[in-house]
Structure 1
Amino acid sequence: MENDDYFEDEEFSPVRSLLGLLTFSTILPINVYTSIEYMTKLTWCWPFLHIFIGILAAICGYVSMEFLHLNSFFTAVIVYAFLMIITGYNHLDGVMDMADGVMVHGEPEKKIMVMKDSSVGAGGVATLFLVASLTIAGLYNILDYHFILGIMICEMSAKTSLLTTALLSKPLTPGIGSYFMNETNLGNYLLSTAIVLIIGDLFAGYVGLFGVVGAMISGLIIALVARRNFVLANGDVLGMSNEVGRLFSLLFMAVALFYF
């Protein structure tokens, strides 16, 4: 978001804003830029944009299993690597930074200072390792059931987790994350989540619904952790919510696949 093109004075365009949001969150060669104010007006549409990313990842998983005849674990690692690369490792620094802030002792001001520090501590590295490992394990689990659609659902749901945290958090300003939080209100959140739940149900029934609900619970937990430790939230908190949301979505779907 350091590119000055994001802050151009221009007329609002929904299409340009959506493409700008996709440019911001992926490495796809779209290269459509708009101001941060206009781009974040459609934050509630973020899960729908990442359905496309989830579909690409699902295709990657399908090719790995059905054509390359790789086992579920190897496929899970490849799918996770694909998701990280295509999203430009966009939220991994948020995982490490928030974890470092939570781990340090002290008042919220001190914790925020540590979270915003560019250096990474042992807590951040260990948390990233745990989140990544558990996410791969979750992908491995659903792929054992040959539930390829779960890849699409977890990627879509990760953004629902982010929106949940954005809705329930008070923004730390200035900062990019504050724009996303300010544009997320109860009305557009409920609309977005309702559509995501419908999509989850249409594609995977109860299992899909469980995946979305898991991400919503993740977003609530991250918001509560952030409020307790920092009072306010920033882009790092939203990044953590995205990555943990994907993990919780996979966890809930894995449980649902066993019981349903």
Structure 2
Amino acid sequence: MEDDNYFQEEGFSPIKSLLGLLTFSTILPINVFTSIEYMTRMVWCWPFIHLFIGILAAAFGYVCGEFLHLNAFLTAALVYGFLMLITGYNHLDGVMDMADGVMVHGNPEKKISVVKDSSVGAGGIATLFLVASITIAGLTNILDYKFIAGIVICEMVAKSSLLTTALTSRPLTPGIGSYFITSTHPGNYVLSTVIVGIIAFLLGGVTGIIGLIGAIFAGLIISLIAKRNFGVANGDVLGMSNEVGRLMALLFMSIALYYL
């Protein structure tokens, strides 16, 4: 079996690092591996990689709704399942692990030990159920408005939520999450967010921008919760931020679609 070695020594290549990031975060058969240090140099481009994933999900949703004539709820559930599958369920363990750590009583060291524990508690399972259910409900709502571009936007800005948490957090070391956190700084964060905002506006107008605001808000909230409970953030916290960012983007866009 081939090792997924992200730590091998090599020269930096932006294209290879982007493909490595795509390999890292999806099940697409790209199979390009690079060192974690070089891969995370391009972390500010992560939303644009998931712009592509969002387009695939939107196309899948369009086929389900317009050609197979499935109702909005079933289409939303299938789109959510598609997103989870194509991303290899990459962040779902983060949702459960962080939730378990937040729910347990004790000092930050005890909470961090629970986050790192491979077992899953009731808090983690319940939180994952709530996040998944509300996300599907949000997808249903935007599909009721025929706002299929919202699928693309919510998947793209979920990574903006993750970057917001990374920017405002202190990393727990060692760990893969620490590389993403230390590689996110104000310069590349602002550049990424501005480009994401332009794309979101082109796709969804003011509603798209409001979706981005919802994702950024989610990233700040998850960062604050992590600081209060753990003092630091790791890959699980970033995973939680991604999933809650998608959810909050859908919630903000759903409200905007009614009022705008």
TM-score range, shorter chain: over 0.9
User: May I ask how many residue pairs the two structures share in their alignment?
Assistant: 259
Which residues in structure 2 correspond to 1:161-200 (within 5 Å)? Answer: 161-200=161-200
Aligned to 1:128: 128
Structure 1, unaligned stretches of length 5 or more?
none
1:18-55 CA-to-partner distances (Å, cap 9, x unmatched) read 00000000000000000000000000000001000000
TM-score of the superposed pair, with normalisation by structure 1:
0.99
1:130-161 CA-to-partner distances (Å, cap 9, x unmatched) read 00000000000000001100000000000000
Alpha-carbon separation, structure 1, partners of 2:68 and 2:86:
21
User: Partner of 2:60: helix, strand, or coil?
Assistant: helix
Alpha-carbon separation, structure 1, partners of 2:117 and 2:140:
34
One-letter code aligned to 1:57: A
Is residue 4–residue 33 contact of structure 2 (8 Å, CA) maintained in 1?
Answer: no
Moved over 3 A (4+): none
Which residues in structure 2 correspond to 1:134-173 (within 5 Å)? Answer: 134-173=134-173
User: Partner of 1:231: helix, strand, or coil?
Assistant: coil
Which residues in structure 2 correspond to 1:233-252 (within 5 Å)? Answer: 233-252=233-252
Which residues in structure 2 correspond to 1:1-260 (within 5 Å)? Answer: 3=3, 5-260=5-260
- CA offset at residue 3 of structure 1? 3.8
Is residue 5–residue 33 contact of structure 2 (8 Å, CA) maintained in 1?
Answer: yes
TM-score of the superposed pair, with normalisation by structure 2:
0.99
Go from structure 1 to structure 2 and tell me whether the alpha carbon gap of 1:183 and 1:130 turns closer, same or farther (over 3 Å shift): same
Aligned-pair RMSD on alpha carbons?
0.9
User: Partner of 2:184: helix, strand, or coil?
Assistant: coil
Alpha-carbon separation, structure 1, partners of 2:218 and 2:234:
17
One-letter code aligned to 2:157: S
Alpha-carbon separation, structure 2, partners of 1:8 and 1:110:
33
One-letter code aligned to 2:120: V
